[in-house]
Amino acid sequence: MDFTIKPLSTHLGAEVTGLNLNDALGDNVLGAIKRAWLDHGGFLVIRDQSEMTTEAHIAFGAAMGPLFGAPDQDPLQDTVSRYIHPDYPEIYRVSNKLDESGEPLGRKGAGTYWHSDVSFREQPAAASILHAVEIPDIGGDTLFANMTKAFDELSPAMKETLRGINAVHDFEVAARTQYATPIVVENDMAGANQAVHPLVRTHSETGAESLYVNPGFTSHLEGYDADESCWILEPLYAHAIRPENIYRHTWSAHDVVMWDNRSLMHYAVADYGDAPRYMERTTCIGERPS
């Protein structure tokens, strides 16, 4: 298959054209996509997937790694189970639309804070793969911050200090400030929504070190009290989200974006009022961060 890869910024992201995810993709093509993704900082947009079936989305996701929601892979009930597609447990819906009975179809305002998907699990997300089915005419971009570059730009002394720290991630951090406390309470199974991870993680496929904390889900640093944790975390967040460290994705309909939660944070910009937006996501279960 003949597809083209074009960088989207100097430090993060590339665009793929000429690829049809509905085709049965062989190992060579899948390997080439994976390599291009890792080579471009863990962000690829595969354009023009208007023909992609839900089954093809799931098959592509599963080729990139075991999927959250897949009955054979993910024994945990998902924290946000009501937003799972009723016919496809691997598909998580991000949307502001309502279903026939007036219930939210997806999680409105999901991700309107800097975060890395499901970092509150012991094995958080590696790739998230988001299909833009319906997008507003204007607005609804998603921002991505390069946490490998952010770490790389620190001094050797700061890097060494941070390598020794663990961070506590807790879904309730987002739930308290954002949405749906009842959902967390309902599904707050033993430890499922809380995890401790190193503040600096080493990518299992590239070997690169990244900052692995995020304002959405990181509650505090192990052994530090809440204020002290902020003294360390807030300047790191400010450093990570400088404009030079960000790629801003303006969606076209039927973009399929694959990002790496091990090395990026992202933020959904909620600037489109009530204009309908509907996205479907598959999410790969990653390794335990180390």
- In the bound complex, what is the minimum distance in angstroms from residue 47's beta carbon to ligand OGA? 17
Q: Which amino acid is at 53?
A: T
Asked whether the beta carbons of 85 and 68 are under 8 A apart, the reply is: no
- In the bound complex, what is the minimum distance in angstroms from residue 281's beta carbon to ligand OGA? 5
Tokens of 86: 């009723």
- In the bound complex, what is the minimum distance in angstroms from residue 45's beta carbon to ligand OGA? 13
Q: What's the rounded Cα separation, in Å, for the pair 88 and 86?
A: 6
Give whichever of 162 and 286 is closer to ligand OGA, judged by the CB atom. Answer: 286
- In the bound complex, what is the minimum distance in angstroms from residue 132's beta carbon to ligand OGA? 8
- In the bound complex, what is the minimum distance in angstroms from residue 127's beta carbon to Mn ion? 12
Pairing of strands 14-17, 43-46: parallel
Q: Which helix (H) or strand (E) holds 200?
A: strand 200-202
Q: Which partner, ligand OGA, Mn ion, none, binds residue 130 by CB below 5 to 8 Å per kind? A: ligand OGA
DSSP annotation of 173: H
CB proximity list for 227: less than 8 A, separation 6 or greater: none
Is residue 94 within the footprint of ligand OGA (CB under 6 A)? Answer: yes
Stretch that binds ligand OGA, among 60-68, 110-118, 184-192, 229-237 (CB under 6 A): 110-118
* Tokens 């890395």, residue located: 116
Q: Which partner, Mn ion, ligand OGA, none, binds residue 142 by CB below 5 to 8 Å per kind? A: ligand OGA
Distances (CA, A) of 132 to 60, 201, 208: 15, 30, 30
Stretch that binds ligand OGA, among 44-52, 56-64, 70-78, 109-117 (CB under 6 A): 109-117
Measured from each CB, the residue nearest to Mn ion is 111
The residues binding ligand OGA (CB under 6 A) are 94, 110-111, 117, 128, 130, 142, 266, 268, 279, 281
